[in-house]
Amino acid sequence: MGEIVGAAIVSHAPGIMLPEATRRELNGGEDTSLVPGLRRLRTEVLDRLAADTIVVFDTHWIVTFEHILTAHARRQGLFTSHELPRGMKAIPYDMPGDPELAFAVERLAKGRDDTWALACDDPLLPIFYGTVNLWTFLAGRERWISVGLNQTATPDDFLLLGKLIGEAIAGLDRRVVLLASGGFSHRMVPFKELRRCESSDPANISSPAARAADERVLAWLAAGDHRQVIDFMPEYLRHAPEGHFGHYLMMAGALGGAACRAPGVPYSLYENSVGTGQAHVWFERPAGGWISGSAG
């Protein structure tokens, strides 16, 4: 029987791919906390847990007609971002996949009238920096699956897919880590203001209201109150969380949804990226299970 051994909300902000000297120049001599946070996640968490598979909920992979999961035995090549080639170009990646898990999710969705999922192993399927940036820092011996962010989905749709992914993991012999790859509030500053807002200082977040909403969500996550976060979604969507916060909702759905009580441990500061809120938050599997009183 498989299990989810840990989960995280993880920032893939393009700034993490800049050279350290450039990052420090943008931050008055200091480095962003996001880069050492990723390195700590690798050494303090992933090395310790020795998971078989990492599942990435990638907010930069936008899908429409169904939920899509990568089902390749291996993905490898060089990645250049169509959005920001200045900082993300010719990045090498070589990640083994987990087709068995991807197709298990597809089977669980088959025949339902409330969700649709496709496990895709097409060799020409693109890869996106929501996966590549994280892999650059977190790559180890694990297999990697990416899950697309469905732009037509509601919070309930995201939670349901996460639930099915959790069920698929439970039905296989797997130790799995889930990574919700994306940010918090995601309204960028206007073009002419971008260069003066490149530092990580949260004073550069797009608005005081967006920052306050992010800080409320982070506080609930720290307390393990996932119900409050999920109930807050109608209001939070007014601040344009990245990917409709679908990366978090899919992760949460796999962990028990609103019943999940796992507290979040910060692995970075709360930071700005050209107006958007960014942070790493790790959720360790509680001794009694993701749901209070549950061994699952």
The helix (run of H) or strand (run of E) holding residue 23 is: helix 20-26
Distance CA 203, CA 196 (A): 12
pLDDT range class, residue 296, cuts 50, 70, 90: very low
The helix (run of H) or strand (run of E) holding residue 188 is: none
Number of other residues whose CB lies within 10 A of the CB of residue 52: 19
| Residues 278, 133 contacting (CB under 8 angstroms) | no
Domain 3-284 has CATH 3.90.76.10: no
Kindly state the tokens that stand for 23.
């990052």
How do residues 191-243 score in pLDDT, each as one tens digit? 999 888 889 999 999 999 999 999 999 999 999 999 999 999 999 999 999 99
Q: 129-164 burial string, b = 16+ CB within 10 Å, else e? A: bbbbbbbbbbeeebbbbbbbbbeebebebbbbbbbb
Kindly state the tokens that stand for 275.
């107006």
How do residues 35-82 score in pLDDT, each as one tens digit? 999 999 999 999 999 999 999 999 999 999 999 999 999 999 999 999
Whole-structure pTM over 0.75, yes or no? yes
Q: Is the pLDDT of residue 295 over 50?
A: no
